Structure 1
C-alpha cells in the first residue's frame, strides 16, 4: 500500500500527509514530554512536548517546526488523546532560482526558564532565530536551564517567509501561565492561529500547532514581525474532473437526464473543522487526519422541456429559485465548519486552518454574489417555430467527507447555480427555410 495513505477502500484512500508543492505536511504521531510544571505551586498545569518525526515514510525528511503545549495535563506523551498535534514538514524540491523552502535556525533566543519556581524538572523555552528570508513558527522547550540548555539548531525548521502569513492571538488562544509559582521569571503561553481575514485563491493557511511564549502573564503585543506569530501559507492542488456535459438537444424528444459528476476534489487538514460531532479531535488525528472536499455537478432542466411543432413561436415565463439560503448555509457551517455566503464566498473559519475555497472548487471568487445569492427570479424565453429547447441550470452538491469517504451529520450542501445557465435549442432541419407566422 502507498505509504502516504491509511488503510481504506480504493475509492477513498485516507490521506495521511498533504503534498503542497515545495513541501509536504503531516501531523506528528509521536511525542516526547520535555517538561511539565509539577511541583512549582502554580495555579495551572501544562506539558510541553516535542513532535517526533517517527512513523513517517521517510523519517529523515520530516522535521518539526516547534514544541507543542497540552494544558491541564502532566507528563503527556499521547498528544492526540488531548486533541493536540504538531505539524511535521518535509521539503520536496527546490524551484530554480529560489532558496529552499526550509532552513534550520542559526541560533536561539532565551524566552523563559523555571529557576526558583519549585518545579520538579528544570525547564526553559527558546525562540528560533531564523536565517535571513525565513521565519520561525513557534517556540521550543527544553528540560534544563542555564548556558547549556539551548536547543540544537537541527531540532526544528524555519520556513521561507513567502510560504508563511501573519498569525493571530485572541482570548481563545491562551494555554498556560506560571502565576503562583513564584519563579524568577513570568511567562504565559499562547496558541498561534491563522488570521481569519487572510485570503488567497487555492491557498491554505495552517497553524504549526505550536505556541508563543510571552515574558508576562498577559497576551504578547504586536508587531508580528518581532515574534513567531506566523502560520504556513501553502498551495492547494484540486483535482479537476473535466468538462461538465450539457444535455444534447437533437430532436423533439427530451434528451436523457444526466447524472451528477465529480467536478473537483481536494484535501484539507482535519483542524480546518471545528465540527464533526460524531468524531472527536483525537479520532480525527488517528483515523481521518485529512478531510476530502468534493464538488458534484449536473445540468438539470429548469422547468421542463419544450418542443414547438408549429409555425409560430411560443413565449414562456419561467420562475427559478437559486443560490444558498441562510438556513442551508447555517446547517453546513454547524455540521462541517464550512461557510458559504454571497458576501464571503466559500471558506473554512474558526479552526487552526483557514482557506478561501471558491477557486479550489472551480468557481470565480468575484462571482460569489451571482453564484450563492438566494433569489427567486422570473425570466422570459421564446421557443422558435419547429424547434425544441431545453433551459438548464447547474445543480451542485458540496460534500465535506472524512478521509475514508464516510459522511457525517450535515456535511453537504445542495443548491442551484443560476450563473451557469445553458439554453440549448434545436431547429427542425425540415423547416429551417420556412417563414415564421
Structure 2
C-alpha cells in the first residue's frame, strides 16, 4: 500500500490508499434503498454508498450497507469505496483491479411482508478471478444495475469469517426468511492490514451462514519508508569514543481506522488525519568502552540498561490501540469500530525478527568482552524511539523507546585484526570468559 500523494488533489478530493492498481477510500454519504417500514419485522434498512463525485470521482461501492433501525445514517457511518487505479502500477499485469459483476442471483425478496415498498436482496456473480464482497439491495423485485457495485480481483482480498447478525426479517410475514451479517477479518500477517469494507453478507434463513456463503476482506501491506540505516560509530584513536551515532528514521503509514486517537472522533479522523505516521528513529548509543594498555588480553564487563519503559508502553497502547508484539485490535472494550480490521506491524519495523517477548521485559543486559592488548574497544547498542504523528505533524500519545539483547556493535582501534580475537559474551558465559581470558 502507498499513499496516492504524488498528484495535487482538488480542494475536496480525498487521499486514497493505493494497493497495486486499486484505489481505496471511504465515504459517509449514503442513499436509502429499502427499509422494513410497514412490515412486522424489527426496524432495518439498506443503504447504498454514494460518494460525492467532486471528492471521490470514479469510486464505486463494494456492496450495500445493512443497518438495524430506521435512523438516517448519513455522516454517522463509514464504508470503503473503490476505484480503478493506475494501469501502469505494480500489480496491473495481473489484470484490472475491479470488474462489474456478470449478473446477480436473488437471495431474498419481501413478498408478503406488507412493507410500504417492495424490496429485494441480490448477490453479485463475479467474473472468473474476481470476488464479490457484499450483497446489493433493490427497491423493487428487479435486479440492480450492473454498475451498482464492483467486484475485486481475488488476490487483493483475503478469505474472512461471518461476523455478527445485523438484521433479519423475523416476523415480517414474507414468504422467504432472510438475515444479514457482518464480515470479520482474520488475524493479520506481519506487515499487513485486513479490513472489512462495511458491506453485508446474508442468506435466505435465520441461521448464521456457514461455508456456503463466502466472506472476504480487503488486504493491504502497511507501507514502510526505510531510509539508510544509522551509520555505525568508528573509532579513530585512543581518545574517548563518541557517545552516540547519527540518527536514521523509518516510517510506517497506518490508515485512520487502525489508530485510536482521543483527540478526534472516529469519523473525524477520516477528514483530518486519514493517515498516521509511526516513526522509528534509530541510533547507536555507547554502553561502555575499555582501553587495554597491557601486553595481553583483558576482560571487561558493562551493563546495558534497557530503555523500554513498561508504563509508557502501556500508555501508548491504551491511547492508540497499536501493538508492537502482535496484531491489533486485541480487544475493543465494547466499542463499535467504524471499520472492522486486523493489523500487524512488520517484524523488521518492530525489531521482533527473533522474538517478540523482549517487548515484555525491561531487564538490563550484562555484556562482557575480552579486549586484545594495545586496543581500545567500545560497545554500542542500537536504540529505537517510536513516535506516532497525525497528518498535521502533531503527536499522539507518548514516545516509547526500545532496545534488545541482539543489537550490539563493537568498534575497536586500531581496526586491524589482532592475533587475539575480540569477542562479546552474554552474561551466562561470564565464568567461561574469565576462565579463558589470556
TM-score by length of 1: 0.80
Q: 1:428 to 1:92 in 2, by over 3 A?
A: closer
User: In structure 2, what is the equivalent of residue 11 of structure 1?
Assistant: none
User: In structure 1, what is the equivalent of residue 184 of structure 2?
Assistant: 193
User: In structure 2, what is the equivalent of residue 253 of structure 1?
Assistant: 240
User: In structure 1, what is the equivalent of residue 147 of structure 2?
Assistant: 154
1:335 aligns with 2:319: yes
For structure 2, which runs of at least 5 residues remain unmatched after alignment?
A: 332-336, 420-437
For structure 1, which runs of at least 5 residues remain unmatched after alignment?
A: 8-13
User: In structure 2, what is the equivalent of residue 167 of structure 1?
Assistant: 160
1:178 aligns with 2:169: yes
1:390-436 CA-to-partner distances (Å, cap 9, x unmatched) read 211111123333333322335x432113322111112399xx99xxx
**Which residue among 89, 103, 111 is the counterpart of 2:99?**
103
Query: C-alpha distance in 1, partners of 2:169/2:387?
Result: 44
Q: 1:169 to 1:324 in 2, by over 3 A?
A: farther
Query: C-alpha distance in 1, partners of 2:290/2:155?
Result: 55
1:16-74 CA-to-partner distances (Å, cap 9, x unmatched) read 2112222121112432222232333333x3332212243456613x2221112343342
User: In structure 1, what is the equivalent of residue 377 of structure 2?
Assistant: 389
SS in 2 for 1:422: strand
SS in 2 for 1:150: coil
**Which residue among 370, 394, 408 is the counterpart of 1:406?**
394
SS in 2 for 1:185: coil
User: In structure 1, what is the equivalent of residue 334 of structure 2?
Assistant: none
User: In structure 1, what is the equivalent of residue 29 of structure 2?
Assistant: 30
**Which residue among 69, 72, 97 is the counterpart of 2:69?**
72
User: In structure 2, what is the equivalent of residue 219 of structure 1?
Assistant: 208
Aligned partners of 1:168 and 1:229 also within 8 Å: yes
TM-score by length of 2: 0.80
SS in 2 for 1:227: coil
Q: 1:32 to 1:333 in 2, by over 3 A?
A: same
1:143 aligns with 2:143: no
User: In structure 2, what is the equivalent of residue 10 of structure 1?
Assistant: none
SS in 1 for 2:101: coil
Q: 1:2 to 1:428 in 2, by over 3 A?
A: closer
Instruction: Report how far residue 160 of structure 1 moved.
Output: 1.5
* CA-based RMSD: 3.4
Q: 1:56 to 1:418 in 2, by over 3 A?
A: farther
Q: 1:258 to 1:38 in 2, by over 3 A?
A: farther
Aligned partners of 2:230 and 2:246 also within 8 Å: no
1:320 aligns with 2:311: no
How many aligned positions are there? Answer: 405
Q: 1:96 to 1:66 in 2, by over 3 A?
A: closer
SS in 1 for 2:354: helix
User: In structure 1, what is the equivalent of residue 114 of structure 2?
Assistant: 118
**Which residue among 212, 232, 240 is the counterpart of 2:218?**
232
Aligned partners of 1:288 and 1:402 also within 8 Å: yes
1:357 aligns with 2:345: yes
Q: 1:285 to 1:58 in 2, by over 3 A?
A: closer
Aligned partners of 2:279 and 2:386 also within 8 Å: yes
Query: C-alpha distance in 1, partners of 2:131/2:155?
Result: 9
